[in-house]
Amino acid sequence: MNPVFEVANLSKAFGGLVVTNDVSLAMAPGDRVALIGPNGAGKTTLVNLVTGNLSPDSGEVRLGGETVTAVDAAGRVKRGLIRSFQVTRLFQDMTPAEHLGLAVLQRDGKTGNIFGNFLRMPDVMAEVDELLGKLGLASLMHRMVSEIAYGQQRLLELAVALALKPKVLLLDEPAAGVPQSDTGRIEQALAELPADLAVLMIEHDMDLVFRFAKRVIVLASGTIIFDGRPEDVTSNARVREAYLGSYANASPVA
């Protein structure tokens, strides 16, 4: 199967500090990949490079075989590369329905209608209803974001990302800041993502990594030191030294 997303020999330095060091990886449709590593490993910088928020010093980013290294962040979104953030970036005075309606209009290039009443657009609202229903947010669709729980806000962010019809979805700690009582719903939503969607998730919670990922990439000092099966990561000497520590003595969650 041809890769839907590729990074080839990507490098980035700030002054004399190399934060991304000749990184290469590829993902096929349907991949479930976790990107892990210690704080300061360069995970966020790598995501900023592949999404177009930073320019690399060298290397390439490809989507569906097209080189997009010189394409800006908005252009990559249009090509199906969608990112969520570690800290929610929702508008507190807007409703879930408004967030999703605007995302659908943006995706379809109908920004001229962005200030129109999309609540009266049957095709838009059908999609809004379906997405909110799938993520258990239907009853909250007309509530202000400021009035709903943080875990539900994280689910809404995922719904907005899905409304943009991603081919590649980058998730930055999707359960960060969410109470333990609400993480099960987020994990369920992750398990129900479209089967053909390639997902790269940055995550520190190793239990969640082992439940979600079919493949684990470990980044340390800007360099990939492991790329393989979750069941092999804890036995890798370099990974144990660089990151896992005592967790390596535990068994992966089935």
Question: Tens digits of per-residue pLDDT, 119-132?
Answer: 778 888 899 999 99
**Total domains present in the chain:** 1
Domain assignment of residue 227, yes or no = yes
Range of the domain at 178: 5-90+165-249
Least confidently predicted of 19-28, 50-59, 152-161, 242-251: 242-251
Domain assignment of residue 75, yes or no = yes
Domain assignment of residue 141, yes or no = no
User: Tell me, what CATH number does 181's domain have?
Assistant: 3.40.50.300
**Distance from C-alpha of 105 to C-alpha of 209, rounded to nearest angstrom:** 33
Q: What is the CA radius of gyration of the chain?
A: 19
Residue 202 main-chain phi, psi, to 5 deg: -80, 130
Domain assignment of residue 37, yes or no = yes
The whole-number pLDDT of residue 234 equals 85
**Distance from C-alpha of 220 to C-alpha of 223, rounded to nearest angstrom:** 5
Q: Would the CA dihedral through 146, 209, 215, 173 be positive or negative?
A: positive
Instruction: Please state the rounded mean pLDDT for residues 104-108.
Output: 85
Encoded tokens for 140: 């909250």
66-100 per-position pLDDT tens digit: 999 999 999 999 999 999 865 567 889 999 999 99
Helix axes 96-107, 122-134, angle to 10 degrees: 120
Domain assignment of residue 170, yes or no = yes
Q: Whole-prediction pTM value?
A: 0.87
Domain assignment of residue 109, yes or no = no
Q: Which of 75, 23, 34, 78 is nearest to 53 (CA)?
A: 75
Domain assignment of residue 29, yes or no = yes
The whole-number pLDDT of residue 254 equals 39
The whole-number pLDDT of residue 179 equals 82
**Distance from C-alpha of 222 to C-alpha of 163, rounded to nearest angstrom:** 32
Domain assignment of residue 115, yes or no = no
Q: Which of 217, 205, 234, 178 is nearest to 34 (CA)?
A: 217
